[in-house]
Amino acid sequence: MWPKDPENGASSGSGSDWMGGDPNVFKDKPWRPLTRTTNIPAAILSPYRLIILARMVVLIFFLKWRVENPNDDAMWLWGMSVVCEIWFAFSWLLDQLPKLFPINRVADLDILKEKFETPSKDNPTGKSDLPGIDMFVSTADPEKEPPLVTANTILSILACNYPVDKLSCYVSDDGGSLLTFEAMAEAASFAE
């Protein structure tokens, strides 16, 4: 439930563009959205929409041809294939509809820091209020999964922009390889 806007008594969260545009619009409000929507350029989106439209037209012509030309020798097989093709066409269409009007959301890091890491009435110490995250990396065979790749994965996890005391990374080596253990020890010493 959005707080009422004191100027006109309307809900501040109503409207289609409350998360888009300039983030400074919300500077004086008691709440600020943690994300913003970003527009996808028409140069990227329009060709994709044209390809989807062309595929839909071809699909409609194919299904029309399939229904109008039954196979009299194996009517049950023809009927089953028509039902399956219509079902797959429907599921493909449902998969494509959200892609016609995609929404990109970008986290506003300044607002996140202000909300979760600054001293306030609810958080007097200013210690991070973000939840703890546990990341599990599993590996089995150092020949199929080189320890360097596993070490890079762990270092990438530990390098993310998240409070250090809230992020944990666990490695599960099902193969129990000494090579993997030594590589993880080196990665841990480098991460410090």
Quote helix, strand, coil % in the chain, to nearest 5. Answer: 50, 10, 40
Extract long-range pairs of 56-62: CB within 8 Å, 24+ residues apart: 56/93, 56/96, 59/89, 59/92
Nearest CA-CA partner of 97 in 36, 43, 53: 53
Give the C-alpha separation, 47 to 41, whole Å. 11
Give the helix ranges, DSSP H, for the chain: 42-68, 75-100, 109-117, 147-158, 178-191
Binding residues for UDP-alpha-D-glucose: 138, 144-145, 174
Binding residues: 138, 144-145, 174
Give the C-alpha separation, 79 to 65, whole Å. 13
**Is the CB of residue 150 less than 8 Å from the CB of residue 183?**
yes
